[in-house]
Structure 1
Amino acid sequence: MAPLYSPAAQLLQTWNVSPPPFAGGDTTTVLPSTFFDLIFMHFHPVQRVFFYDFPHSSHHFISSELPSLKHSLSLTLSRFYPLAGRLLMRAGGKPELVFSAGDSVTVTIAVSSDDFHELSSDHAREMSRFHPLLPKLIEKEVLAIQVTIFPNSGICIGTTMHHGVGDGATYSHFMKTWSAVHRFGELAGFSMVLPPFFDRSEVKDDRGLERLFMDELEEFKGGDGLDKWDLHGCNDVVLVTFVFGRERMEKMKKKTLSNCSVYALACGYMWSCLVKARRETSKKTVYFGFVTGCRARIEPALPTNYFGNCLGICCVEAKRTEVVKEKRLAAAEAIWEVIKGLEEGVMDGADKWVRNVYKYASERAMTVAGSPKLGVYDVEFGWGKPKKVEIVSIERTGAVSLTESRDGEGGIEAGLALPRHEMEEFVTCFFNGFMEEIGGI
């Protein structure tokens, strides 16, 4: 393949990495989509970048690390083989994830001339600088990987995954398995993590959601859909990381009336700042959306290592005047009320999930990508813990990305992508105005 060039990256080579041949010879495996998968079938792919310090030359990485990285990926795909398959949309039927012997994951290797340390920092960085670090999905692929070398500085592993085949728990399970196999070898690495659980028959559809969601996805196809969230291609979009340390979270918690979780506090604070920054005073009602893990909450419960999507859609609506109040964390408390209600029945209102997604897109609601529970900073290939992890696809989904804190002290990192002028307003709200009203934290 001929090298491609951009102002910041040079693509060196592309490989197709397959799982080792199965003992039984040629096989085809079909995983039918569940109603949980259908919710996300039309979402933009989820794109993450993992930055690792690696103060060595490109030649050193290519000769000493890259062969093992490809081999460990192949071994990992022996367990996660559907990720090497193709997502097929059957005419008149539901999508199916189909793996046949010889299917593969596309892996590219590139060298970047950009500033590794600046890209992996917290301050405002142009979203366009992340695009050369991420691969595109082609020919019905569901996963693609790019490894980018920053000579004598670091390594970036960029992944693009179709949201219709798996959620954050499935993705992090795959990445933790791959990094463990690369770091410790096949036997030791596999012994550290459970194999994926593929049995889709365990997902019960007593409410007829599969047929409903397929009809609704067909209904929404061709309209504005999710595009009102999409900032890709807009001028001057920047990504900023906001850090909620444990001490800051404790101070915020004392200001609430209902002992909110740290998740609700971080989400509510970001939501409030965004509503204030947009200055859309004509809006009477504002919206916030997040997902909740359903594996342990449905009947029968699914194992933690279930492969696929298993998320419920949660919706929060509040008066704009309440969300922007400066002496109470009303936004966090509104989110916390919805979270508490999940214990009574996570599937209540499930028939509205797809419609609510499109409604919230039309309102440009803030949503959430990722979760502090996924433990993405535990994805360690042997070069030390990631220096930084970003969800770049929040540029297209109107989401704030959440991860656990890098320092392991119980805090939360929140990433946000906005046009620069809007981000400047947001930063002012975050650091100066609203902060001072809750005690100068």
Structure 2
Amino acid sequence: MGSEIQVVEQSFVAPSTPTPRNGLWVSSLDLAKARGGHTPLVYFFRRSNDDDDFLDLSRLKESMAKALVAFYPLAGRAGVDGDGRIQIDCNSEGALFVVARSKLSIDDLMPFPELRGSMMFVPRVEPSSVLLAVQVTFMKCGGVALGTAFHHLAVDASGDFHFMQTWSAFSRDGDGAAVELPCHDRTLLRARSPPIVHPDALSVLYSPEMIKNTSEPSGGAAAIAASIFVISNDQLASLKRVCGGASTFRALSALVWQCACAAWRLPPDAEARISFSVNARRRGSMIPVRYMGNGALMVYATGVARDIASGALEHVASRIRTTINRVDDELVRSAIDYHHELLESGFQPKRAFMGDAEMRVVSWLGMPMYDADFGWGKPMRVSRAGSVHRGYMHLVRDGPDADSAIRVMACLEAAHMKEFERLISAKLEGGLYHAKL
């Protein structure tokens, strides 16, 4: 982990009361996302007072044990059933809990911890079958970095933040915490028999087949540059007006797609593509809001490069809106059936590297990522950790307040980043504060 971090304790936290012990069947959407492994996040908390009990590790473990009763699959392990199909073994072996100390202060990492080694605050997950791991790192300044790693087989972002809300509520309020129970019935997303893929579904459904022939740039990590832009509320309001009153997600996605297409200098008639997730919990009626599992579909929009790079932003945003509006129960069913057929055929998806005319937007806007108040107050910053990949854009709130600015983390080839930065700044009329990797 490096000289800045010293691990002082490692243990497993099991549910505080007996939970179901069984093999939990997982859907084709879970299996499609499982190759992504663990999602690394870090919550940064400043010391809220001068008391020695600012953070009581015993209380933190006890509250996690209580939360794992409702979220018992997270205390299990990735396994296989009798037919060799991946499942979750609900065996209550527990979540990994790591305690560490750091020579760094929180201010050493700010304002952009994504670019300054935040992965050191996320636990190394061993064995890899562990579905949830956390690391509490005591910082030199007295603050705390809480790193989490949720396996994508078990949850998507919605389930991740639901668990964090529940765990922190037990820590803050004890047994009086209000708990919204998760739904564990993944058969709600079982494929139909026989599977049926609507003919129009593939025009918006991002398939693993789309990435099977793509590869990482020959320059590897050295060919990639990362830059973080902080967009103020005033800039965002102006951008949304230019986009015809589009939502925050559509406006920001249209902006980065257009600027990236222009920076790439694609042939005018080339097809440009943008992909992103749409939460099926809020589009249709197949699964409840508190469904625990992967309930988001990866979809995409396309356009001719000249239209995306130089057309009106309102029209670019409307292409994204059209794709989002097509996500309904039938499209979700077709997606499940399509992934089921791929897996049955023996298709093995490869790691997703974006092509030369493609970007992916990962948005946690609207997610309750700052609701993790363990009794010390809300985190001052929640940061994605880990490596960056070409063509990815991450959208997150810059702080716990509803009117906080928005951080956009852009990852492009280094040769294109300077022009991308210039175009972004020009679109937002300058004054944009950003940092580079």
Q: Do the aligned partners of 2:43 and 2:383 also contact (CA within 8 Å) in 1?
A: yes
Q: Which amino acid aligns with 1:78?
A: V
SS at match of 1:287: strand
Q: Does 1:294 align with 2:280?
A: yes
Q: Judging changes above 3 Å, is the alpha-carbon distance between structure 1 residues 383 and 210 closer, same or farther for their aligned structure 2 residues?
A: farther
- Residue 228 of structure 1 deviates from its aligned partner by 3.3
Q: 1:167·1:310 contact (CA, 8 Å) conserved in 2?
A: yes
Question: What is the aligned counterpart of 1:399 among 392, 396, 399?
Answer: 392
Match of 1:408 in 2: 402
Matched-pair contact (CA < 8 Å) for 2:214–2:355: no
SS of residue in 2 equivalent to 1:164: coil
What are the superposed Cα offsets for residues 143-196 of structure 1, whole Å, 9 maximum, x if unpaired? 1111112122521111112112111111110011011111111x222x2x3011
Distance in structure 1 (CA, Å) of the matches to 2:276 and 2:213:
18
Q: What does residue 246 of structure 1 align with?
A: 233
C-alpha displacement at 1:264, in angstroms?
Answer: 0.5
Alpha-carbon RMSD across the aligned residues, in angstroms, is 3.6
Match of 1:234, SS state, is helix
Q: 1:347 — aligned with what?
A: 332
Q: 1:172 aligns with which of 151, 154, 161?
A: 161
Matched, 1:428 2:415: no
Deviation at 1:235, TM superposition (A): 4.1
Q: 1:166, 1:225 → 2: CA distance?
A: 27
Which amino acid in structure 2 is aligned with residue 168 of structure 1?
A
> Does residue 63 of structure 2 align to residue 69 of structure 1?
no
> Per the alignment, do residues 122 and 207 of structure 1 end up closer, same or farther by CA in structure 2, a change over 3 Å counting?
farther
Pick from 297, 301, 314: which aligns with 1:316?
301
TM-score by length of 1: 0.80
Letter in 2 for 1:304: V
For the 8 Å contact 1:52–1:385, the answer to whether it is kept is yes
Q: Aligned pair in 2 of structure 1 residues 236, 178: CA closer, same or farther (>3 Å)?
A: farther
Offset, 1:64 = 4.6
Any conservation in 1 of the 2:138–2:144 contact (CA below 8 Å)? yes
Aligned residue for 2:144, secondary structure, equals strand
Aligned residue for 1:114, secondary structure, equals coil
1:337 Cα deviation from its structure 2 partner = 2.0
Matched residue count: 409
Task: Tell me the residue number matched to 1:214.
Answer: none
Q: 1:261·1:336 contact (CA, 8 Å) conserved in 2?
A: no
| Number of the residue aligned with 2:364 | 371
Q: Percent identity?
A: 22
Are 1:234 and 2:198 an aligned pair?
no
TM-score, normalized by length of structure 2? 0.81
1:40 counterpart = 2:33? yes
Change (3 A) 1:208 1:360: farther
How far apart in 2 are the matches of 1:8 and 1:296?
42
Query: In structure 2, what is the Cα distance between the partners aligned to 1:124 and 1:199?
Result: 35
Letter in 2 for 1:363: G
Q: Which residue of 1 aligns with 2:186?
A: 200
8 Å contact from structure 2 (residues 249, 363) kept in 1: no
Whether the 8 Å contact between 1:273 and 1:426 is mirrored in structure 2 is: yes
> 1:274: which partner in 2?
260
Q: CA deviation at 1:386?
A: 1.4
Distance 1:388 1:120 in 2: 9
- Distance in structure 2 (CA, Å) of the matches to 1:56 and 1:263: 37
What is the rounded CA distance, in whole Å, between the counterparts of 2:142 and 2:225 in structure 1?
Answer: 23
1:399/1:209 CA distance change after superposition, 3 Å? farther
CA distance in 1, matches of 2:195, 2:386: 27
User: Does the CA-based 8 Å contact 1:43-1:226 persist in structure 2?
Assistant: no
- Unaligned runs of 5+ residues in structure 1 are 212-218
Judge conservation of contact 2:97–2:133 (CA < 8 Å) in 1: yes
Q: Which residue of 1 aligns with 2:46?
A: 53
Structure 1 pair 324–153 and aligned structure 2 pair: CA distance change class (3 A): farther
Secondary structure of the 2:374 match is coil
User: Residue deviations 1:230-253, cap 9 Å, x none?
Assistant: 99x824966544333333232122
Distance in 2 (alpha carbons) for counterparts of 1:207 and 1:262: 39
What stretches of structure 2 of length at least 5 have no aligned partner?
198-207, 431-437
Tell whether the 8 Å contact from 1:256 to 1:328 is kept in structure 2 after alignment. yes
Q: Which residue of 1 aligns with 2:204?
A: none
